[in-house]
């Protein structure tokens, strides 16, 4: 499995909303079993939250903030390169 699929999963969850397993699998172009495997890993290390009642997934608040900071840093770096 390529890291790009994990990136795609994170990207699909970046909005901070709850998403179903089927929606995530469709967005990442992974089968349901591989999606479940990635989700189990992410949950084990508290990167995501899982609502077991409705079986939906979203990024943990700390993970969400971390990804936002990375995106801001990358944007700032690109801007500095362009304007240098």
Domain-by-domain residue ranges, the chain?
A: 3-83
Task: Output the pTM of the full model.
Answer: 0.74
pLDDT for 49 beyond 70: yes
Rounded average pLDDT over 37-61? 93
How far is the C-alpha of 24 from the C-alpha of 22, rounded, in Å? 5
CATH number of 3-83: 1.10.10.10
């Amino acid at each position: 499995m390529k890291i790009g699929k994990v990136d795609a999963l994170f990207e699909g969850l970046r909005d901070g909303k709850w998403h179903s397993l089927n929606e995530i699998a469709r967005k990442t172009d992974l089968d349901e079993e591989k999606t479940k495997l990635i989700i189990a890993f992410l949950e084990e290390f508290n990167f995501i939250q899982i609502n077991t009642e409705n079986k939906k997934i979203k990024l943990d608040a700390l993970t969400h903030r971390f990804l936002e900071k990375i995106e801001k840093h990358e944007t700032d770096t690109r801007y500095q390169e362009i304007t240098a």
